[in-house]
Structure 1
Amino acid sequence: MTGQLTREAVVDAALQVLEDRGLEGLSTRAVADSLGVRMNTVLWHVKTKARMLELMADAVVGEIGYADLPSPPRQRARELAHRYRRALLAHRDGAALVTGTYPAEPHTLRFADRFVDALLGAGADEEQAAWTGWTVIYFLLGLVQEEQAAPDQLDDRLARAVDASTHPALHRVAAHMGRDTFEDRFTFGLEALLARLPE
């Protein structure tokens, strides 16, 4: 069976298990069951669960397209960040999957290279380009992870928990913290980070 099964097929099956069960329900055994093979067969292709997660994370980043990117570097960096966010959101627990993995794999390296190239093109020096790239990715992963985990009744929870007399400052800004504000929060944070690039 190992000769008939490919690593790509195992990763595809793992992504489907992620969609069906979420990250907590993902295991090499669950992937093996979905493929109708023994767990050792899955491990022969991916070695460990940690390695499987790296390959899955790289596959998610591999869904980012690079056609029709804007020519101006700052706009290109902005668009790449938007596409990265959409790739994470396209998968259940996508941000939680990618967080904590460091795959030096083709898709991840390609995205990082394109993003850093845009930052360098916008006038950042090498250190600023590297650190801005990391900071944008950290921000994206954290925000999208919160967005994907946020309960549907988040707005109601906030309204009940934030009292004007006990939490006056939070009460004033509560309207800007609900579930439907993630897109605006993403744009605000991204623009704040890109604003540090040279003009």
Structure 2
Amino acid sequence: MARKKQNSEYESLDQSKIIQTAIDLINKDGLKKLSMRNVANALNTSAASLYWHIENKYELLQLLSEQISKNISFPDSSKEWYEQLIELGNEFRQALLSIRDSVEIMTETVPMTPDRLQLIENIYRILINAGFRSEDVPATASLFNNYVLSFVRDEMIQVQIAKIQGLEVNEAFEQARNMFQSLPVSKYPSLVELADYSVSINSDKQFEFGLQVLLDGLNKRLQQ
């Protein structure tokens, strides 16, 4: 971990301040523009002072992934395994949605911090207790993890596309729906017919539908 020094400039900082400032910058400008220098400027200090608390940008990303994991509550272990995964999936999604580019933060760092490891541990334990074979647990957990991450990535892309167009997300969806409905029926009959369903503004229902399909498949495998 980064070094510490008895100095008023360094003591005025701590990791929690640095992490929150980094989150604020990411939510404003995106992960690509995040740098130790930008964080230092936002804190009205020097980049060198940050290095007494955080060694480098990669450690900062690790701490951000840990912060995301801290915001995830775990379900009651007495519930059925699929109910636990539905709850955990929703918790995971909401934690990711709280920070812009959170999916990149999670995928570009190795899980090695306590709360992030605890997230994996809980998913593994749910699957083990459900009766999944030990050799299948890591792959099954990965499927669950990847579904949540990919869904949130798509949600965030939709938000950014709408922002570029100067629209709210609902407005962008409505615009897309109108585009589908205006297509020539002779060439795209299915797209026109299903326009209302193809462009949905209810991301919560879409997420739970996909998660339920995944869990139904896993349950079928569990029964074999």
Give me the TM-score of the superposition, normalised by structure 2.
Answer: 0.78
In structure 2, give the amino acid aligned to 1:194. Answer: L
**Residue 179 of structure 2 is aligned to residue 160 of structure 1:** yes
2:131 matches 1:123: yes
- Aligned mates of 1:126, 1:67 — CA distance in 2: 22
SS at match of 1:37: coil
Equivalent residue number for residue 5 of structure 1: 13
Report the counterpart of residue 174 of structure 1 in structure 2. 195
In structure 2, the CA distance between the partners of 1:34 and 1:123, relative to structure 1 (3 Å rule), is same
Percent identity, aligned pairs only?
24
In structure 2, relative to structure 1, the CA distance for the partners of 1:158 and 1:99 (3 Å cut) is farther
1:75 aligns with 2:83: yes
* 1:105 positional shift: 0.6
Shift of the 134–31 alpha-carbon distance from structure 1 to 2, 3 Å rule, reads same
Residues 116, 130 of structure 1: 8 Å contact kept: yes
Residues 71-107 of structure 1: per-residue CA shift (max 9 Å, x gap): 3222112211111011111223333432332231111
Match of 2:51 in 1: 43
Q: Deviations over 1:29-60 (max 9, x none)?
A: 22111211111222342222222112101101
Paired with 1:180 and 1:147, the residues of 2 have a C-alpha distance of 10
Select 1:34's aligned residue among 30, 37, 42.
42
What CA distance in whole angstroms lies between the structure 2 residues aligned with 1:165 and 1:43?
63
CA distance in 1, matches of 2:87, 2:36: 35
2:142 maps to 1:134: yes
Q: Structure 1 pair 84/142, CA: closer, same or farther in 2 (3 Å)?
A: same
Larger radius of gyration: 2
Aligned residues: 199
Partners of 1:69 and 1:148 in 2: CA distance: 31
In the alignment, what sits opposite 1:144?
A: 152
CA contact (8 A) 2:123 2:141 kept: yes
RMSD of aligned residue pairs (Cα, Å)? 2.3
Distance 1:167 1:43 in 2: 57
Say if 2:40 and 2:46, in contact at 8 Å, map to a contact too.
yes
Q: In structure 2, do the counterparts of structure 1 residues 125 and 20 end up closer, same or farther at CA, with 3 Å as the change threshold? A: same
Structure number with higher relative contact order (C-alpha < 8 Å, ≥ 6 residues apart): 1
Contact 2:180 2:195 in 1 (8 A): no
Change (3 A) 1:193 1:157: same
Task: State the TM-score, normalizing by the size of structure 1.
Answer: 0.86
Ranges in structure 1 where 5+ consecutive residues have no aligned partner: none
Correspondent of 1:189 among 196, 210, 216: 210
